[in-house]
Structure 1
Amino acid sequence: MDVSVDYPRRVAMISLHTSPLAVPGVGDAGGLNVYVNEVARRLGERGLHVDVFTRDDGTAPAEVVEVSENLRVVHVPAGPRAVVAKEQLPDLVPEFAARLESRASAYDLVHSHYWLSGMAGLALRRSHGLPLVHTMHTMARVKNGARPAAGPTEPDLRALGESQIVFGAETLTANTTDEAADLVRAYGASPDKIAVVPPGVDLHTFHPCDQQQSRELLGVDPEVQVVLFVGRIQPLKAPDVLIRAVARLVEREPRRRERLRLIVIGSASGPDAGWSGTLAPLAAELGVGDLVEFRPHAERSELFRYYCVSDVVGVPSYSESFGLVALEAQACGRPVVATDAGGLRHAVHDGHTGRLVEGHDADDWADALAEMLDHPAERVRLGANAAAHASRFSWSTTAAATLEAYGEALRAARRRAFITGAWFERGR
């Protein structure tokens, strides 16, 4: 693409707390990592030069990793060269931002992801006048309003920081119209500075596939019915809801025990990482310990095969800004049962590509799963619709919408500079 003067040529993308090179499903790595990686790559393919700045936690192979011709990941020293809990990272933001000061003049725009990165982006905006585009991914006030009883409360410091970012950024990108409304409702964002940029899915990696072949490759019994969970193991993602639902299905119809399996893929995450250790005892207590299989995070190619193995994918999260797992599963032709909340309402079309369940009652989830498992023809219909639905979400489309948001930010910055200059002229 021939990048015109209406778009930036060099972008400083900030992902302070987690690297786009990290494997999703490990620690704090998840959908945000996939998002940053994919969008940065696609922007590079469109001719922009993108540097992604992340904190050096000692795991990177080099200070600067050349990902592609126009994309680099730069590891910035801030605090100890070691993994630091996300809850301790706010104290490192000033040092991280200060390290970027000497580099800032090389860029036309800053795009920050998550509130910690946004605070560093605000610092560069103030010191260098760089237009700031910010993507929340999740919001403290929204998460606190939807959190499970077992989940932690997001701190006031985060909500305050997000408010400052909303006020200071030229452009805010939201995954869905619902998220845009949350920005207005919870933070008083001006609607005219919000750009809706739906995430995408890697349609090369995730695509319709052969279930029998995949089961042979992974050694999964071709006769069993598989419910799959993929994600970080934390209360917000609620894999325990699926365990309870499976237990309820077996309680209702003991004959299901011979054929029903739940596979949980992911690793512990967040300040309550110990919570993951309660899931196996929960399954045993409910009498389905032998039906639940726990597996660690998987590489993308292996994850694709697990989607293919499944009959239905469950996404029982309490809050999701969009739900990339739901989209990946559907791209593989798998129907999804998801919570009727947040971005999942946009990722899953109720009755067309899967089912949306209101709340987290085990009986309601058991009903939705049974509807899928007991009607093979309906699964096929929903799966075909799901694949067609997901095919409309590509990362190239996301990058194009992001580029438009950059253009809006540059125009807003020029208006700001003009007004500021006019004000100084009047003050003479």
Structure 2
Amino acid sequence: MRSPRRRELNPAASPCSGRSGLRRVAMLSMHTSPLAQPGTGDAGGMNVYVLQTARQLAACGVEVEIFTRATSSEQPPSAQVEPGIVVHHVQAGPFEGLAKNDLPSQMCAFTSGVLRTEAAKPAGYFDVIHSHYWLSGHAGWLAKDRWNVPLVHSAHTLAKVKNLNLAECDTPEPFARVVGEEQVIAEADALVANTSAEADELITHYRADPARIAVTPPGVDTDVFTPGDRAQARRDLGIPQEAIVLGFAGRIQALKAPDVMLSAVARLRQLNPELGDRVTMVVVGGQSGTGMDYPQWLRELSRDLGVSDSVKFLPPRTGPELAQVFRACDAVCVPSHNETFGLVALEAQACGTPVVATAVGGLTTAVADGHSGILVDGHDETAWAGAFNRLLTDPARRELMSAAAVEHAGNFTWRRTTGDLLHTYRDAILRQRSAARAGARLSQSSR
């Protein structure tokens, strides 16, 4: 059995070296727009991934057209958001009030909109389709046969894996999604996995062909997420200079487990009152997923735990504003029950902030345990409190981890991610053309 492809790229090399005549990529992101604010609703790391890789592709002279579902009547049918990047807002169902689990009912409408847009273009307009998440994969599955181009698919999250790592109060992913993922994974010409762990999950749980899997880690924008002035960052956020600051950034839902940080700090106050009383927690994010059913649940939990006086809730933010939050922190927490990668962990480390994260999924790649941060097995509040205690009472260790975090994050850039994607696109195109030629020869020989 062949292993998934893992390509080591030279960080100094041009990502455009694998372009090989590629002109235009259709990216499908049905359930969330790359222009949406990450950290709320269904927007998160995938939005960042789509937009950042599109930017890098455009910089290589490859045009990118992104198809997403329209969620407002004010959105234009198509808009050029940056040179070389066009976003198409496809009408598929009501603009508002449609939950992600309702979107399968609109896959036909969305796919029709994608096909109609391409039908108005010259023949052979797109060279490859890159679908993101299983819903988009179904649209890509039909479009690839209609356009005679390969389908490259990124799952971003997998239902079977999520269901194996559910939080206590979370709802399992529906069986329809499981079946849908199995179909897309079987039909895609190439699968992009964020880590070797995700590649193994695709093979183990979905019987994916290892030869069609390319392991391509996401990146971080090191022009935005950089070390900076911690004192100024705390002044900007109104946080006392003498505080010990723990941060969380992400969607407020059971999967992301922000409650673990709160419970651990409450436990820390029992184990080390002098330290625990100095901790300020900064929670950046908005309601999402199952959290929509309990919009105040995290605030109510903080009151129940007796730590509400130590929590600062901030609305979702990205780019320089989020980087400033990370700079203000002594550590950033990523206590998720499952992550295919965990971009927040990478962004925090790029700012020189160590990360305390759950030892699951892609976080075991995103965080270098004992070097750039600490990985914790499970979600036991005492174990997390112990990790906080070890890190926060040892300034020398934090300083070493801060430097190591910047170094570790520097190994993951969108430049490298895009270089690998270009190779994956090229390989998929060559395989498809080779298969078409072989099919044509077989057809002629049988006459």
TM-score normalised by L of structure 2: 0.92
SS in 2 for 1:165: helix
Matches within 5 A, 1:372-387: 372-387=391-406
Following the alignment from structure 2 to structure 1, what is the Cα–Cα distance between the partners of residues 177 and 437? 32
Any stretches of 5+ residues in structure 2 without a counterpart?
Answer: 1-13
1:18 Cα deviation (Å)?
Answer: 0.6
Following the alignment from structure 1 to structure 2, what is the Cα–Cα distance between the partners of residues 397 and 191? 22
Aligned to 1:99: 113
Aligned to 1:153: 172
The partner residue of 1:16 within 22, 26, 30 is 30
1:227 and 2:241 correspond: no
SS in 2 for 1:236: helix
The partner residue of 2:383 within 346, 354, 364 is 364
1:176 and 2:190 correspond: no
- Letter paired with 2:357: A
SS in 2 for 1:301: helix
Following the alignment from structure 1 to structure 2, what is the Cα–Cα distance between the partners of residues 317 and 200? 19
Aligned to 1:108: 127
1:141 and 2:160 correspond: yes
The partner residue of 1:350 within 360, 369, 376 is 369
Contact 1:235 1:275 in 2 (8 A): no
- Letter paired with 2:388: L
Aligned to 2:139: 120
1:423 Cα deviation (Å)?
Answer: 3.8
Aligned CA RMSD, in angstroms, stands at 1.6
Contact 1:60 1:75 in 2 (8 A): no
Following the alignment from structure 1 to structure 2, what is the Cα–Cα distance between the partners of residues 253 and 369? 10
Question: Could you report, residue by residue, the CA deviation over 1:64-107 in whole angstroms, capped at 9, with x for unpaired residues?
Answer: 22122211111111112335210110111111111222333421
1:59 Cα deviation (Å)?
Answer: 6.5
Any stretches of 5+ residues in structure 1 without a counterpart?
Answer: none
SS in 2 for 1:422: helix
SS in 2 for 1:134: strand
Identity %: 44
SS in 2 for 1:102: helix
Runs of 4+ aligned residues of structure 1 deviating over 6 Å after TM superposition are 1-5
Following the alignment from structure 1 to structure 2, what is the Cα–Cα distance between the partners of residues 7 and 221? 55
1:5 Cα deviation (Å)?
Answer: 8.0
1:366 Cα deviation (Å)?
Answer: 0.4
SS in 1 for 2:256: coil
Contact 1:238 1:317 in 2 (8 A): yes
Contact 1:184 1:190 in 2 (8 A): yes
SS in 1 for 2:356: strand
1:326 and 2:340 correspond: no
1:195 Cα deviation (Å)?
Answer: 0.6
SS in 1 for 2:88: strand
Contact 1:11 1:107 in 2 (8 A): yes
Question: Could you report, residue by residue, the CA deviation over 1:392-411 in whole angstroms, capped at 9, with x for unpaired residues?
Answer: 21111111011011011101
Task: Give the stretch that moved more between structures: 155-164 or 53-62.
Answer: 53-62
SS in 2 for 1:103: helix
SS in 2 for 1:16: coil
Following the alignment from structure 1 to structure 2, what is the Cα–Cα distance between the partners of residues 176 and 29? 21
How many residues align structurally?
A: 428
Task: Give the stretch that moved more between structures: 294-303 or 174-183.
Answer: 294-303
SS in 1 for 2:39: coil
Following the alignment from structure 2 to structure 1, what is the Cα–Cα distance between the partners of residues 17 and 370? 42
Following the alignment from structure 2 to structure 1, what is the Cα–Cα distance between the partners of residues 348 and 74? 30
The partner residue of 1:75 within 60, 80, 89 is 89
SS in 1 for 2:405: helix
Q: Closer, same or farther in 2 for the Cα pair 1:282/1:423, shift >3 Å?
A: same
- Letter paired with 1:98: S
Q: Closer, same or farther in 2 for the Cα pair 1:63/1:388, shift >3 Å?
A: same
Contact 1:7 1:403 in 2 (8 A): no
1:335 and 2:354 correspond: yes
The partner residue of 2:298 within 279, 282, 288 is 279
Contact 1:234 1:276 in 2 (8 A): no
The partner residue of 2:72 within 40, 45, 58 is 58
Matches within 5 A, 1:154-303: 154-303=173-322
SS in 2 for 1:359: coil
Aligned to 1:408: 427
- Letter paired with 1:137: H
SS in 1 for 2:254: coil
1:289 Cα deviation (Å)?
Answer: 1.7
Task: Give the stretch that moved more between structures: 112-121 or 51-60.
Answer: 51-60
Following the alignment from structure 1 to structure 2, what is the Cα–Cα distance between the partners of residues 408 and 149? 42
- Letter paired with 1:147: L
Contact 1:3 1:47 in 2 (8 A): no
1:373 Cα deviation (Å)?
Answer: 0.8
- Letter paired with 2:91: P
Following the alignment from structure 1 to structure 2, what is the Cα–Cα distance between the partners of residues 284 and 207? 34
Following the alignment from structure 2 to structure 1, what is the Cα–Cα distance between the partners of residues 312 and 365? 29
The partner residue of 1:88 within 102, 107, 113 is 102
1:61 Cα deviation (Å)?
Answer: 4.1
Contact 1:234 1:275 in 2 (8 A): no
Contact 1:334 1:383 in 2 (8 A): yes
Q: Closer, same or farther in 2 for the Cα pair 1:3/1:225, shift >3 Å?
A: closer
